[in-house]
Chain A
Amino acid sequence: MTVIRPSDEYLEQPYYRHLAEGTLHLNCCNDCGAAHHPPSPICPKCRSFNTGWKPASGRATLNSFAEARHAVHPMLGPKVPYVITLVDLEEGVRLVSGIPEGMRFDLKVGMPLECKVIRFDEAFALPYFLPVGEGGA
């Protein structure tokens, strides 16, 4: 699934630029090391403005999931059902993610996951998370 993308001004920002280059990076504090998401100009742990980007390990656990069966937009009609997930990364941040189109897994809250970045075009890629051993990172 997707037919939905952020507008170009967001794709030009570091989070999506790193993904388009093939890796999930997280906004991290250069002083205390804490990662945070969504990206922010300041570290919410130590309030330092000295933040940068580090590659994520890709290891996560499944916080929750939901299967959208009702299309909330006409262009999503051919895409349902699709699975949305909330994943808790090893680095201590939460991401919204999903299961890639055409894949099905028996999901369970708390199960270990690994990241698989899927590219849609030059400028746009998304971080999906698959059960460990199912073809992720």
Chain B
Amino acid sequence: MKTSIVGLGQTEFSKNSGRSELKLALEAILGALEDAGLEVNDIDGLVRYTWDNTSEAAIVNALGLPSLSYYGETEFGGVNCCGAVAQASAAIEAGLANCVVFYRALNARSGVRFGRGERVLAEEGDWLVSRQPEPPGDIYSAPFGLLVPGQHHALYAQSYMGHYGLDEERFTDMLGGVAVTQRGYANRNPRALLKDKSLSLDDYRAGRVITHPLRIYDYCLETDGAMAMVIVSQEKARELSGKAVDVLAAGQYIFPGSVPMYLYAEKTYSLAPEGAAQQLFGRAGLSASDIDVAMIYDATSMMVPIALEDFGFIGRGEAADFLSSGGNGPGGPLPVNTHGGLLSEGYFHGLNTIAEGVRQLRGDSHNQVEGAETAFVTLRGASSMVLGRA
């Protein structure tokens, strides 16, 4: 790719924003343009998730934008956080637009909650009824009580435990190593929802089980708020303020049975298809060992061990050793989710995952990795990205 992320804007993370998703989106977009040193009228492209309630037309109308020459949408929400950047980049490289904003606004705690069955079921007399054609909560899985993404993640977790023969204690130390390390990062990040709440490994072990084998601390935070980022060509980025971070490679993937919930994928302990890492790193002209910091979309902590193995940062089955010994922590071989992740910073549906990669390469993370030149971002391999210091 020959594009750069040049501006980030966001609202606060909260449990109750007290304002509409449209207003949240606008605040984030204006913030991102200001951060980039661009005018609002420079926006000529928008990309969004189909799941976002705020349409491109609503943004254009609200801001009185002169016109958009491109707008694009990606399906399946956070699954496509890097796919949306790929789409924006492709539009810029194709000459369809010059300045594309990717935004996401959600009242996902005070409004419709992803962790609740009400999102996919209707109450009809003594029954709850599903009409969903696809997971989560579809007509084939909902009757067994499989309704929300977090329950699917418990299935991946048990599959992983079974495949590698991990006992409960080793498994607990592995995921505890994710949750506790990321909370430590969040404690040093003033933006984080859980900045003031410490978490020890003993606290983690004593955590309430939500869907076995996952505990409450393994789950991301349902959050209200919005985030936006500005994407332009690398050439244009060099004329701007110096906050640019280059998109070295970005892409998305679907294979049979995978997206959105991987219920029918051949493997359920490994979620990226064969070859995903080679393709991504090949496009970036790098290898996994060149990556300085990784941002892994952690809807649950289980996403971290799977992604580390799927992308070759560690060998298959090595995640328990790596994570229980702090390999993802400050000073470790590969710091992961240095904002605290979706587990402890907040949940802007992957945009804050990307944003922390950008901040690391700008050198202004609250948990700065000294000299970070490259960052990796992924959601289960379904969409992935490599960022480089400009």
Residues of A within 8 A of B (CB): 1-7, 10, 15, 37-38, 44, 63-70, 72-73, 75-76, 79, 81-82, 84-86, 93-98, 108-110, 126
Determine the chain A residues whose CB is within 8 A of the CB of B130 once the complex forms. Answer: 4-7
A79 to B226, CA, bound (A): 36
State whether the Cβ of B72 lies closer than 8 Å to any Cβ in chain A.
Answer: no
Contacts of B117 in A (CB 8 A): 72-73, 76
Q: Which of B134-176 contact A (CB under 8 A)?
A: 138-148, 151, 154-159, 161-163
**Chain B interface (Cβ within 8 Å of chain A)?**
115-118, 121, 123, 126-131, 138-148, 151, 154-159, 161-163, 208-214, 256-257, 263-264, 268
Q: Give the distance to chain B from A104, nearest Cβ to Cβ, in Å.
A: 13
Pick 28 A–B contacts, CB within 8 A, sort by A.
A2-B143, A2-B145, A6-B142, A6-B143, A38-B140, A64-B158, A64-B268, A65-B155, A66-B158, A66-B211, A67-B211, A68-B145, A69-B211, A69-B212, A72-B115, A72-B116, A72-B117, A72-B147, A73-B116, A73-B121, A73-B128, A76-B145, A82-B145, A86-B155, A86-B268, A93-B264, A95-B140, A96-B146
Report which of B145, B155, B210, B213 forms a contact with A4, defined as CB distance below 8 A.
B145
Contact present for A3 and B128 (CB under 8 Å): yes
* A72–B151 CA distance with the chains assembled, in angstroms: 10
**Contact yes or no, A79 B145, CB < 8 A:** yes
Q: Is the CB of A69 within 8 A of B209?
A: yes
Given A3-B126, A37-B264, A73-B121, A96–B144 Cβ distance below 8 Å?
Answer: yes
User: In whole angstroms, how far apart are the Cα atoms of A76 and B154 in the complex?
Assistant: 18
Which of B126, B130, B146, B264 counts the most A-chain CB atoms under 10 A from its CB? B146
* Chain B residues whose CB sits within 8 angstroms of the CB of A38 once the complex forms: 138, 140, 264
Is A94 in contact with B155, judged by CB distance below 8 angstroms? no
Q: How near does chain A come to B157, taking the closest CB pair, in angstroms?
A: 8
Chain A residues positioned under 8 Å from B148 (CB to CB): 72
**Are A70 and B158 CB-contacts (below 8 A) given A38-B140, A96-B141, A98-B144?**
no
Set of chain A residues within 8 Å of B211, measured between Cβ atoms? 66-70
Whether B159 contacts A84 by the Cβ 8 Å rule is: no
Are A64 and B156 within 8 A (Cβ)? yes
Residue from the list A65, A73, A96 in contact with B158, Cβ < 8 A:
A65
Q: Top 4 nearest A-B pairs by Cβ distance? A: A109-B162, A73-B117, A66-B154, A6-B139
Once the chains bind, are B145 and A84 in contact (CB under 8 Å)? yes
User: Distance (Å) between the CB of A34 and the closest chain B CB?
Assistant: 12
Q: Report A-chain residues with C-beta under 8 Å of the C-beta of B162.
A: 64, 108-110
Q: Are B129 and A94 in contact (CB under 8 A)?
A: no
Pair B155/A64 contact, Cβ less than 8 Å? yes
Query: Quick one: given A95-B140, A96-B263, are A73 and B147 in contact (CB under 8 Å)?
Result: yes
Q: Tell me whether B159 and A86 are in contact (CB under 8 A).
A: yes
A90 CB to closest chain B CB (Å) equals 16
Q: Which of A7, A65, A69, A79 contacts B131 (CB 8 A)?
A: A7
Min Cβ gap A86→B in Å is 6
In the bound complex, CA of A95 to CA of B257 (Å):
11
Q: How distant is A4 from chain B, measured CB to nearest CB, in Å?
A: 5
Bound CA–CA A86/B256 (angstroms): 16
A93→B161 CA distance, assembly (Å): 22
| CA of A86 to CA of B129, assembled, Å | 21
Chain B: CB-nearest residue to A66: B154
Chain B proximity of A77: nearest CB distance (Å):
11
Q: Which of B127, B138, B151, B257 has the most CB of A within 10 A?
A: B127
The reply to whether B151 and A4 contact each other, CB–CB distance below 8 Å, is no
Residues of A within 8 A of B214 (CB): 66
Knowing A70-B211, A72-B117 are in contact, say whether A84-B144 is a contact too (CB < 8 A).
yes
